[in-house]
Amino acid sequence: MKSKMSRLMLYAATLSAAVLMAGCSDAKNDAGEEGEKVPVEVASAKRQSVVRSLAYDGDIEAEVEIQVYSKVPDRIEKMLVDVGDRVRQGDLIARVRATAIEQALRQAEAALVAARSQEANVRLEYERSQRLFSENALSQQQLDAIKTQFDAVVAQSEQAEAMVKTARSQLNDAQITSPIAGIVATRNYEEGDMAAPQQPLYAIVQMQRVKVSFDVAESDIGLLKTGQAAEVRVKSYPGRTFKGTLVEISPVLDRMTRMAHVEVLLDNPDFVLKPGMFARVEVRVGSVDDVVVIPRRAIIESSSLNQQGARKEVITNYYVYVVSGDRAEQRKLDVVYVNHEFVAVSSGVAEGERFVTTGHHALRDSALVVVTREEGSAP
* Per-residue confidence band for 42, with pLDDT thresholds at 50, 70 and 90: very high
Q: Answer yes or no: is pLDDT of 297 > 60.
A: yes
Asked if 52 and 342 touch (Cβ cutoff 8 Å), the reply is no
Asked if 230 and 280 touch (Cβ cutoff 8 Å), the reply is no
CATH no., domain 70-96+174-200: 2.40.50.100
- pLDDT at residue 4 in the model: 43
**Separation CA 61–CA 59 (nearest Å):** 6
SS3 314: strand
SS3 211: strand
Residues of the chain with CATH 2.40.420.20: 38-49+291-374
pLDDT above 90: percentage of residues in the chain: 50
* Per-residue confidence band for 33, with pLDDT thresholds at 50, 70 and 90: very low
Residues 6+ apart with CB under 8 A from 187: 79, 81, 82, 83, 201, 202
* Per-residue confidence band for 64, with pLDDT thresholds at 50, 70 and 90: very high
- Flag whether the pTM goes above 0.85: no
pLDDT tens digits for 121-177? 888 888 888 888 888 888 888 888 888 888 888 888 888 888 888 878 777 888 899
Q: Answer yes or no: is pLDDT of 238 > 60.
A: yes
Q: How far is C-alpha 25 from the geometric centre of its chain's CA atoms? A: 63
Instruction: Output the DSSP codes for 19-67.
Output: HHHHHHHHHHHHHHHHHPPEEEEEEE-EEEEEEEEEEEEEEEEEEEEEE
pLDDT above 70: percentage of residues in the chain: 90
Q: How far is C-alpha 127 from the geometric centre of its chain's CA atoms? A: 72
| Higher-scoring residue by pLDDT: 153, 233 | 233
Residues of the chain with CATH 2.40.50.100: 70-96+174-200
- In CATH, 99-173 is 1.10.287: yes
E strands present in 97-201: 175-177, 182-187
Residues 6+ apart with CB under 8 A from 160: 108, 111, 112, 114, 115, 116
Asked if 294 and 45 touch (Cβ cutoff 8 Å), the reply is yes
* Per-residue confidence band for 247, with pLDDT thresholds at 50, 70 and 90: very high
**Separation CA 157–CA 179 (nearest Å):** 34
**Separation CA 374–CA 116 (nearest Å):** 99
Considering only 96-105, 185-194, 332-341, which range has the smallest mean pLDDT? 96-105
Residue 297 DSSP code: G
E strands present in the chain: 38-44, 46-68, 76-79, 86-87, 92-96, 175-177, 182-187, 202-217, 229-234, 242-249, 259-267, 278-295, 300-308, 311-324, 327-332, 334-338, 342-347, 354-358, 367-374
- pLDDT at residue 158 in the model: 86
Asked if 292 and 350 touch (Cβ cutoff 8 Å), the reply is yes
The number of CA neighbours under 13 Å toward the Cβ of 121 is: 7
Mean pLDDT of the chain: 85
Residues of the chain with CATH 2.40.30.170: 55-61+209-287
CATH fold of the domain at 55-61+209-287 = Elongation Factor Tu (Ef-tu); domain 3 (2.40.30)
**Separation CA 251–CA 310 (nearest Å):** 31
CATH fold of the domain at 38-49+291-374 = 2.40.420
- pLDDT at residue 319 in the model: 95
Calculate mean pLDDT across residues 25-37: 49
Name the amino acid, one letter, at 284. Answer: R
Residues of the chain with CATH 1.10.287: 99-173
**Rg of the chain in Å (alpha carbons):** 43
Q: Answer yes or no: is pLDDT of 35 > 80.
A: no
pLDDT tens digits for 69-94? 998 888 999 999 999 999 999 999 99
b/e burial code for range 23-58 (CB count within 10 A of at least 16 → b): eeeeeeeeeeeeeeebebebbebeeeebebbbebeb
| Higher-scoring residue by pLDDT: 377, 142 | 142
Residues 6+ apart with CB under 8 A from 75: 96, 97, 192, 193, 194, 195
Q: Answer yes or no: is pLDDT of 23 > 70.
A: no
pLDDT tens digits for 91-130? 999 999 887 777 777 888 888 888 888 888 888 888 888 8
